[in-house]
Amino acid sequence: MFSPQWQHSYQALGSGYTSRANPDPASSPEWMGWNETLAEELQWPQDLRKTDEALAIFAGQSTLEGTSPTASVYAGHQFGQYNPQLGDGRAILLGEWAVSPAKHYDVQLKGAGQTPYSRGGDGKSPVGPVVREYLVSEAMHHLGVPTTRALAAIATGDRVFRNDVEPGAVMVRVAKSHLRFGSIQYFAMTREGDGLAELVEYAAERHFPNIIAAKGADSAAAKAEVLLEETVKRIASLVAHWQSLGFVHGVMNTDNMLLSGETIDYGPCAFVDTFKADAMFSAIDSQGRYRLSNQPGIAHWNTSVLASCLLKVLNSSEDRAVAYAQSVVDEFPRWYTDAFKTRVAAKLGLDSFRPEDTELHDGFLKTLEEDQLDLSLAYRWLTHQALEDRGHTPIGDLCVPSAGLLDWQSVWQRRRASNKADSQMTGDLMCQANPVVIPRNHHIAAAIEEAESQDYDYLQAASGRWKSPFEWQDSDTLWAAPPTPTERVTRTFCGT
Question: What is the distance between the alpha carbons of residues 490 and 481, in angstroms, rounded to a whole number?
Answer: 17
Active-site residues: which are they?
255
DSSP string, 342-368: HHHHHHHT-SS--TTHHHHHHHHHHHH
Question: What is the distance between the alpha carbons of residues 257 and 179, in angstroms, rounded to a whole number?
Answer: 9
Burial letters 215-251, b for 16+ CB under 10 A, else e: eebeeebebbbbbbbbbbbbbbbbbbbbbbbbbbbbb
Burial of 126 by CB count in 10 Å (0-12 exposed, 13-18 middle, 19+ buried)?
buried
Could you tell me which residues come within 8 angstroms of residue 406 by beta carbon, excluding any fewer than 6 positions away? none
Q: Are strands 81-83 and 91-100 parallel, antiparallel or unpaired?
A: unpaired
Q: Are strands 18-20 and 70-72 parallel, antiparallel or unpaired?
A: antiparallel
Start-to-end Cα distance in the chain: 43
Burial of 417 by CB count in 10 Å (0-12 exposed, 13-18 middle, 19+ buried)?
exposed
* 208 closest CA partner among 228, 229, 227: 227
Question: What is the distance between the alpha carbons of residues 31 and 170, in angstroms, rounded to a whole number?
Answer: 10
Burial of 394 by CB count in 10 Å (0-12 exposed, 13-18 middle, 19+ buried)?
middle
* 167 closest CA partner among 21, 30, 283: 30
- For CA atoms 446, 451, 455, 461, the dihedral sign is positive
DSSP string, 188-249: IIISTTTTHHHHHHHHHHHH-HHHHHHHT--SHHHHHHHHHHHHHHHHHHHHHHHHHHTEE-
DSSP string, 439-494: --HHHHHHHHHHHTTT--HHHHHHHHHTTSTTS--TTHHHHSSPPPTTT----B--
Question: What is the distance between the alpha carbons of residues 205 and 117, in angstroms, rounded to a whole number?
Answer: 27
* 343 closest CA partner among 434, 464, 447, 221: 434
Question: What is the distance between the alpha carbons of residues 264 and 269, in angstroms, rounded to a whole number?
Answer: 10
